[in-house]
């Protein structure tokens, strides 16, 4: 499970290098093969998502996006594997992008990983980026991604997990402001860090889809009427393929007519 696919690349940057030419080129390179100028950020639950909340997760996203989606996806480029059996993948939101790219020929994905700990290589698990005695899984570099951007504070300093969404927001901002791309945040389940990203993105005025019925913070905000009234850029769909797919059509993320120009802002 830990072996990276052939041709995968890892790029390590420091937070201070946001405008570094090499890191900018690397970030831009992953969108070279897409047809539509839209970047979708997928966020939400990982290790603490319940078995019930994870039920139907993969089918929901794959059937809603595929085969029409032809844009870019940005996500947390990790996978969770059981400590005692690395053949068992723990369900999480980070499994979605590779499945979508597999079913959408003109889509691409870039993983973002904050270096919260020293990276260690394990023959059975692969490149381990995070592990805790309390958890029954380890977090590794997702092996099914062509490109991964790893972010550190410096060679000697590590960063918190929050850096993932902050880095994603900076990348999205660059695409929106300098390349006139559209963007969309989709949130499923998730805890405190997901909550921060939902609120921060809502305040930016960028489009968001919250999946009601997915549990935890996403479901909480999907039913927060005061929040939804304050941010009309936030949309709510049910945990059903038809509901999510129809909203993606409505917002112009995917198109019934493949020649239609994307209208989402």
Decide if pLDDT at 259 tops 70: no
Q: Structural domain tally of the chain?
A: 1
Answer whether residue 257 is part of any domain: no
Answer whether residue 61 is part of any domain: yes
Answer whether residue 102 is part of any domain: yes
Answer whether residue 73 is part of any domain: yes
| Least confident span in 2-11, 72-81, 197-206, 255-264 | 255-264
Answer whether residue 34 is part of any domain: yes
Decide if pLDDT at 211 tops 80: yes
The residue to which tokens 């270096």 are assigned: 115
Answer whether residue 4 is part of any domain: no
Answer whether residue 190 is part of any domain: yes
pLDDT at residue 1, as a whole number:
41
Answer whether residue 1 is part of any domain: no
- 78-82 β-sheet, strand order: 89-90, 78-82, 137-141, 126-131, 120-122
| Least confident span in 77-81, 123-127, 215-219 | 123-127
Give residue-wise pLDDT tens across range 10-68.
777 776 665 566 666 777 778 888 999 999 999 999 988 988 998 999 999 999 999 99
- Residue span of the structural domain in which 129 resides: 9-249
How far, in Å, CA of 243 to CA of 215, rounded?
17
pLDDT, greater one: 262 or 76 = 76
Q: What is the CATH number of the domain that holds 142?
A: 3.40.50.450
- Closest among 264, 194, 207 to 235, alpha carbons compared: 207
Q: Are 72 and 110 in contact (CB under 8 A)?
A: yes
Rg from Cα positions in the chain: 17
Helix axes 96-103, 57-65, angle to 10 degrees: 30
Kindly report the pTM of this predicted structure.
Answer: 0.89
204: tokens are 């930016």
């Amino acid at each position: 499970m830990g072996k990276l696919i052939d041709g995968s690349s890892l790029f390590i940057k420091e937070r201070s290098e946001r405008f570094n030419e090499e890191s900018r080129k690397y970030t831009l390179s992953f969108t070279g093969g897409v047809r539509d100028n839209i970047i979708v950020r997928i966020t939400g639950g990982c290790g603490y998502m319940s078995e019930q909340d994870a039920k139907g997760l993969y089918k929901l996203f794959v059937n809603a996006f595929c085969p029409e989606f032809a844009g870019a996806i940005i996500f947390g480029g990790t996978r969770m594997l059981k400590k005692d059996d690395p053949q068992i993948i723990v369900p999480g939101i980070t499994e979605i992008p590779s499945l979508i790219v597999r079913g959408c020929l003109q889509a691409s994905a870039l993983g973002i990983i904050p270096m919260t700990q020293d990276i260690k290589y394990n023959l059975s698990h692969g490149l381990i980026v995070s592990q805790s005695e309390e958890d029954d899984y380890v977090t590794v570099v997702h092996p099914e991604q062509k490109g991964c951007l790893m972010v550190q504070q410096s060679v000697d300093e590590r960063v918190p997990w929050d850096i993932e969404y902050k880095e994603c927001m900076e990348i999205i901002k660059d695409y929106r402001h300098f390349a006139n791309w559209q963007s969309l945040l989709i949130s499923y389940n998730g805890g405190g860090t997901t909550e921060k990203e939902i609120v921060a993105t809502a305040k930016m005025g960028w489009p968001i889809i919250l999946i009601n019925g997915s549990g935890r913070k996403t479901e909480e905000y999907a039913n927060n009427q005061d929040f939804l009234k304050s941010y009309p850029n936030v949309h709510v769909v049910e945990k059903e393929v038809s509901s999510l797919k129809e909203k993606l059509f409505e917002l112009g993320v995917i198109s019934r007519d493949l020649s239609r120009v994307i209208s989402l802002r």
